[in-house]
Amino acid sequence: MAGNEPAGTTRVDEGELGAVPAEIVARVDALAELIRYHNDRYHRQDAPEIPDIDYDLLVRELQDLEAAYPQLVSPDSPTQKVGGPVSATFAPVTHALPMMSLDNAFDREELEAWAARVAKGLDLADSAAPVGYTCELKIDGVACSLRYEDGVLVQAATRGNGKVGEDITANVAGIEVIPAKLVGSPPAVVEVRGEIYLPIATFDALNEAQEAAGLARYANPRNTAAGSLRQKDPAVTASRGLAFWSYQLGVVEGSPALGSHAEALDWLAEMGLPVNPERRTADTIDEVVAFTDQWLEHRHDLDYDIDGAVIKVNTLGRQRALGATAKAPRWAIAVKFPPEERTTKLLEIQVSIGRTGKATPFAVLEPVFVGGSTVQMATLHNDDQVRLKDVHPGDTVIVRKAGDVIPEVLGPVLSDRPKRMKRWSFPTACPSCGEPLVRPESEAHTFCVNATCPAQQQTRIEYFASRGAMDIEGMGESRVALFIEKGFIANVADLYTIPWDEVAGLEGFGQTSIDNLRSAIEASKQRPLANLLVGLGVRHLGPAGAGLLATHFGHIDAIAAATAEEMAAVDGVGPTIAQSVADYFATDGAADLVERFKAAGVNLVGPERSEEPQVLAGMSIVVSGTLEVYSRDGAADAIKSRGGKNPGSVSKKTTALVVGAEPGASKLAKAEELGVPILDEAGFEALLATGELA
Ligand code: IVH
């Protein structure tokens, strides 16, 4: 370094561009190396270590630095290259036209900036003439190029590094939806680019099989698709149920005259290639955003993963005029959805004590915005899961939150693990009462077995008062804690003998709030018996089982007196639930609670037994979409009152799927895949009347 330069500054280039601070040079090198490492994990090993968003941010940072210091751009920078290294397993294929990557837009502003560049590039900037776009889904799978000569599939290749890919023809031949022969009048040569993916229903089934065989679950459909595709044995690939969506033309010789990308896609579909139906054209960015917003909301209705939308300039002439950079076409942009997986720090692992005494470990996370909300806690289920996931406090971990599903810690980013980190071990004493925690043999869970443990009392009472049980408004976490602390309540029956004159002396309890709370407790005495049963927090007993027992036995005394066998004989009540309920009512504590409920005037009587003929006994009917005559609850009641079950999702056990307007696409796809009969509303009415599938 030259003698009189300020510290931390180096001259990599003595020309006009001037000095580049040493830390920038170091950061550019470090970023390039990190990106190469993650490219290799993703493209060659099919085992990415970090979520896409973290990768995209690394690339962004490098691009920004290279834009600010162009003298640092080297020809082998990852920003100048597509994809990853080519593996040795498959023969190399040189693409006739390179398979390019796409630039990303992460928000509307970036999308508009792209649209402005396009308009400028086409000299349309100041005119009112619309550019004209196509909007497609961005399928999260593995890019593939198919070459048809005279209508016959002759070669299939991965993207590889964009110029040279891998020959996967033998493996692609086993993908059912990819035609070996095109129909209609195929041209002399057509190369079709698209995405190979694994349908979610197939992925779930594959994982069920893995679990049944005692093998590890696959992480996600994309990696599983990539791994399935790059099998040495094509029979293994064929067995995996991969699928394909076409989205782009490569080299074409002898095609009909095509003016636009939309026409090209229609043409591919006419020749029998699978083209995703969820595509449209748009004239304005508002229309484009309507498309991306719609799919952001409905992404989980699809039977495949998408991670955004791809917007392309529709006119092929305009595409040619715009051309491409080294890496990506200027006429297309990927609009990326906000991530459902992100990395964050695992600060510590704590244990919470549930109402049954179950000790559940959970991750305390550095707050992270993922899947539409800020996540700072995630369950780790039990000791075995902590071990399986191999997470240590202090780790960088991947957190996933998809749709309405509760957040999940997927695993650590091992390359980020600090040295000499301590493994976490399950505490031996209850964090609430200090009594020893017990893990029964052959149980996955650990328990606090102290019946008077304050944490258990607290959660039991909160649960009893919660909406799905006795629905006592105003009896939330802090009031329950306060009343326990004051000694007013120690169990759920105590709620009906609260010493109100003493409550009146407490800070924050004016006459109005006391009156409201008292009347909420009073109102809870009239709740259906099933709600009371749910509120007792008997292990394994949920609302469905509670409803069946309440209806069948008609009174809490009859349930308490029933044997496990008698309860298991009720259709829909399994032996596990029956045994658990019988065990519960055999305790002195339960008998005492029932006596005190009686004294308080709590409803202990079940509903009248249904008068409907039980034509749906043993059947399981799923409803999806909006029906005309029945509301969602009305349809559920109609099914249950006839002895049927009405679960929320389609499985092998489903008797029929009833569909109204706008049914969920994934339910439909699953029903079709499993061969479950699909009924419209008329078919549903017939089923209710006769118990027969029309
Ligand atoms: S067009 C030259 N359309 O996303 C443009 N790509 O992140 C070629 N992808 O490499 C790509 N869905 O593997 C296009 N509807 C779609 C797509 C799509 C998914 C993939 C493709 C591409 C990657 C870029």
Tell me whether residue 443 is in a domain: no
One domain for residues 133 and 271 = yes
pLDDT value for 610: 66
The model's pLDDT over 560-611, given as tens digits with 9 standing for 90+, comes to 999 999 999 998 899 999 999 999 999 888 999 999 999 999 999 998 776 7
Average pLDDT, stretch 414-438?
Answer: 92
Count the domains in the chain: 5
Strands 20-21 and 396-400: unpaired
Tell me whether residue 52 is in a domain: yes
One domain for residues 33 and 46 = yes
Average pLDDT, stretch 494-522?
Answer: 95
Q: Hey, how many other C-beta atoms are within 10 angstroms of the C-beta on 547?
A: 20
Averaged confidence pLDDT in the chain:
91
* The one-letter amino acid at 437: L
Catalytic entry in 138, 312, 336, 667: 138
Tell me whether residue 435 is in a domain: no
Ligand 1 atom, smallest distance to 104 CA: 7
Nearest residue (by CA) to ligand 1, atom 13, is 143
Q: How far is the CA of 218 from the centre of ligand 1 (A)?
A: 24
* pLDDT exceeds cutoff 80 at 685: yes
- DSSP summary character for residue 17: T
Cα angle 440-384-376, degrees, rounded to a multiple of 5? 115
For residues 612 and 638, which has the higher predicted lDDT (pLDDT)?
638
Residue 427 and residue 437 in contact, taking contact as beta carbons nearer than 8 Å: yes
Q: Known catalytic residue: 138? A: yes
Average pLDDT, stretch 167-182?
Answer: 96
- Band (pLDDT 50/70/90 cuts) for residue 44 is confident
Q: What is the domain-level CATH number for residue 66?
A: 1.10.287.610
One domain for residues 467 and 593 = yes
One domain for residues 192 and 237 = yes
Q: What is the domain-level CATH number for residue 662?
A: 3.40.50.10190
One domain for residues 275 and 319 = yes
Residue 480 and residue 458 in contact, taking contact as beta carbons nearer than 8 Å: yes
Nearest residue (by CA) to ligand 1, atom 21, is 143
One domain for residues 588 and 523 = yes
One domain for residues 482 and 585 = yes
% of the chain with per-residue pLDDT over 90: 75
One domain for residues 172 and 303 = yes
Rg (CA), the chain: 31
The model's pLDDT over 340-361, given as tens digits with 9 standing for 90+, comes to 999 999 999 999 999 889 999 9
| CB-side neighbour CA atoms (13 Å) of 80 | 10
* pLDDT exceeds cutoff 70 at 86: no
d(CA 93, CA 161) in angstroms, rounded, equals 11
3-state DSSP of 189-211: EEEEEEEEECCHHHHHHHHHHHH
Average pLDDT, stretch 293-315?
Answer: 96
- Band (pLDDT 50/70/90 cuts) for residue 388 is confident
- Residues ≥6 apart with Cβ < 8 Å to 452: 433, 490
Question: In which domain, by residue range, is 170 found?
Answer: 104-336
- Residues ≥6 apart with Cβ < 8 Å to 334: 102, 103, 104, 105, 138, 308, 309, 310, 311
- Determine whether 292 is exposed, middle or buried from the number of CB atoms within 10 Å of its CB (0-12, 13-18, 19+): buried
d(CA 559, CA 550) in angstroms, rounded, equals 8
Tell me whether residue 36 is in a domain: yes
One domain for residues 150 and 221 = yes
- Residue of 449, 445, 425 lying closest to 437 (CA atoms): 449
* pLDDT exceeds cutoff 80 at 82: no
pLDDT value for 276: 98
SS3 label, residue 304: coil
Tell me whether residue 25 is in a domain: yes
Residue ending a domain, choose from 291, 319, 336: 336
pLDDT value for 5: 40
Ligand 1 atom, smallest distance to 328 CA: 2
d(CA 181, CA 195) in angstroms, rounded, equals 19
Residue ending a domain, choose from 553, 570, 600: 600
394's tokens: 């202090």
Prediction pTM value: 0.68
- Residue of 202, 183, 335 lying closest to 274 (CA atoms): 183
pLDDT value for 87: 64
Tell me whether residue 605 is in a domain: no
One domain for residues 141 and 29 = no
* pLDDT exceeds cutoff 70 at 233: yes
For residues 214 and 594, which has the higher predicted lDDT (pLDDT)?
594
pLDDT value for 472: 97
Q: How far is the CA of 368 from the centre of ligand 1 (A)?
A: 28
- Band (pLDDT 50/70/90 cuts) for residue 10 is very low
* pLDDT exceeds cutoff 60 at 394: yes
Q: What is the domain-level CATH number for residue 241?
A: 3.30.470.30
C-alpha 266 chain-centroid distance:
31
* pLDDT exceeds cutoff 50 at 531: yes
Q: Which of 43, 140, 310, 320 to mutate to test the pocket of ligand 1 (most atoms within 8 A of CB)?
A: 310
For residues 131 and 7, which has the higher predicted lDDT (pLDDT)?
131
The model's pLDDT over 119-158, given as tens digits with 9 standing for 90+, comes to 999 998 777 789 999 999 999 999 999 999 999 999 999 9
* pLDDT exceeds cutoff 80 at 266: yes
d(CA 53, CA 38) in angstroms, rounded, equals 12
Tell me whether residue 613 is in a domain: no
Residues in contact with ligand 1 by the CB-under-6-Å rule are 100-102, 136, 138-139, 143, 195, 247-248, 310, 329, 332, 334
Q: What is the domain-level CATH number for residue 487?
A: 1.10.150.20
One domain for residues 553 and 658 = no
* pLDDT exceeds cutoff 50 at 3: no
% of the chain with per-residue pLDDT over 70: 96
One domain for residues 552 and 651 = no
Tell me whether residue 30 is in a domain: yes
* pLDDT exceeds cutoff 90 at 287: yes
